Amino acid sequence: MYLLSKIYIGIDLAAKEYRCSGFAYIVCNDICRIDFVKCIYSDDDIVKMVGDIAKYNPYISIDEPFNLGNGIRDVDRKMISMGFRVFPPKFSYMKLLTLRAIRIINNLKALGIINIYETHPRSALLNSGCRSIRELLQRLSIRYSIDIDNLKKDQKDAIICAAVSYCIDRNCCIKIEGSDGIIWILNKICTNLLPTLKGRNSL
């Protein structure tokens, strides 16, 4: 058992509890590695999963809007103007997602967790310039032993969300800010001269 120093969580939330919500986290001590990737279903299970590691003051990035806004949000307009494809919180099923995200965020805050951020994994990966999740993790020197190719899309997106959490703390993210919210995405990780992990990127 190794000593924990930092945990970075990513959640790709589903609109309904019977569908897979991707949940992943990165653990950092002397090295950083993906320590957990799974489908979680109910609100209670998501909150419990975070609650079990809340004492480590995790950073959490969630792929859903954090508020409904008025129609299309100002922050969504800014994302769209930058070429990113996002859907307004009141668009069809997005309202269900947004209301669920608000409910879960309130429950997490009740646990004393304050580092909770909105992200959009597709836009985050696109802006990073990385061609794949594997390349992204390699550039960030985050190790893994899982078979990424065989994961569900929700789980893959959760890994990207976890990478956003990591980068918010490590200053490799940018924030798109509007009058009604902030969306965090990765900076140009694969087009900048960042150090890469030596050797194989696995445990």
Tell me whether residue 200 is in a domain. Answer: no
Task: For residue 109, give Cα distances in angstroms to 50, 103, 115, 116.
Answer: 11, 10, 9, 9
* Residue in 103, 111, 6, 3 with CA at minimum distance from that of residue 48: 111
- Which CATH number fits the domain that encloses residue 103? 3.30.420.10
> How much is the pLDDT for 192?
62
Q: Helix crossing, 43-51 with 94-110: angle to 10°? A: 40
The total number of structural domains that make up the chain? 1
Domain that holds residue 31: 6-186
End-to-end C-alpha distance for the chain, whole angstroms = 15
Q: Which two tokens stand for residue 193?
A: 């001269």
Tell me whether residue 199 is in a domain. Answer: no
Residue 202 has φ and ψ, to the nearest 5°, of -155, 165
Tell me whether residue 201 is in a domain. Answer: no
> How much is the pLDDT for 71?
77
Which segments of the chain have a pLDDT < 70? Answer: 1-4, 192-203
> How much is the pLDDT for 203?
27
Tell me whether residue 130 is in a domain. Answer: yes
Tell me whether residue 194 is in a domain. Answer: no
Beta-carbon-side half-sphere exposure of residue 45 (alpha carbons within 13 Å): 14
> How much is the pLDDT for 16?
92
> How much is the pLDDT for 72?
86
Q: Which two tokens stand for residue 71?
A: 């129609």
Q: What's the pLDDT tens digit per position in 109-151?
A: 999 999 999 999 999 999 999 999 999 999 999 999 999 999 9
Tell me whether residue 28 is in a domain. Answer: yes
Tell me whether residue 198 is in a domain. Answer: no
Tell me whether residue 57 is in a domain. Answer: yes
